[in-house]
Amino acid sequence: MEEFDITVIGSGPGGYVAAIRSAQLGYKTALIEKYSALGGTCTNVGCIPTKALLDTTHHYADALKHFENHGIEFSDLHLNFEQVFKRKADVVTKNTQGLDFLMRKNKIKVFQGTGTFLNNESMRIISAEQQETIIRSGKFIIATGSKPATIPGVTIDKKRIITSTEALAMQEKPKSIIIIGGGVIGVEMASIFNRIGTKVTILEYADNLIAAMDQELGTTLTKILIKEGIEIKLQQAVYKAENLGDKAKVYFKNKQGTEQDLIADYILVAVGRKPYVNGLGLENTNVELNANGTVRVNDQIQTTVSNIFAIGDVIGGAMLAHKAEEEAIFVVERIDGQKPHINYDRIPSVVYTWPEVASVGATEEELKKREVRYNLGKFPFAVNARARAGMETDGFVKVLSDPKYGELLGVHIIGARAADLIAQAVVGLEYEVTAKDMASICYAHPTYSEVLKEAYTMASGRPSVNI
Ligand code: FAD
pLDDT by residue (tens digit) across 207-220? 999 999 999 999 99
pLDDT at 226: 98
pLDDT at 448: 98
Residue range 54-74: average pLDDT? Answer: 95
Per the annotation, the verdict on 445 as an active-site residue is yes
pLDDT at 466: 80
Ligand 1 atom showing the smallest separation from residue 280 Cα: 18
Distance CA 20, CA 33 (A): 14
ipTM higher than 0.85? yes
pLDDT at 1: 85
User: In the chain, what is the straight-line distance between the N-terminal and C-terminal CA atoms, in Å?
Assistant: 71
pLDDT at 165: 97
pLDDT at residue 17 greater than cutoff 80: yes
CA distances from 27 to 35, 327, 332 (A): 24, 18, 10
The secondary structure of 104-160 as a DSSP string is: HHTT-EEEESEEEESSSSEEEEE-TT--EEEEEEEEEEE---EEE---TT----SSS
Among 62-66, 88-92, 287-291, the minimum mean pLDDT is found in: 62-66
Ligand 1 pocket member 13 (CB < 6 A): yes
Q: Which residue intervals of 309-417 are DSSP H helices?
A: 321-335, 364-369, 385-389
pLDDT at residue 465 greater than cutoff 90: no
- Which residue's CA is the nearest one to ligand 1's atom 36? 46
User: pTM for this one?
Assistant: 0.96
Query: To 5 degrees, how large is the angle CA 7–CA 11–CA 13?
Result: 115
Q: Report residue 226 CA to chain centroid gap.
A: 22
pLDDT at residue 467 greater than cutoff 80: no
Distance CA 365, CA 207 (A): 14
Measured in angstroms, how far is the CA atom of residue 403 from the centroid of ligand 1? 40
pLDDT by residue (tens digit) across 133-182? 999 999 999 999 999 999 999 999 999 999 999 999 998 899 999 999 99
Residue range 229-239: average pLDDT? Answer: 97
Ligand 1 pocket member 42 (CB < 6 A): yes
Q: What three-state secondary structure class fits 169?
A: coil
Measured in angstroms, how far is the CA atom of residue 42 from the centroid of ligand 1? 5
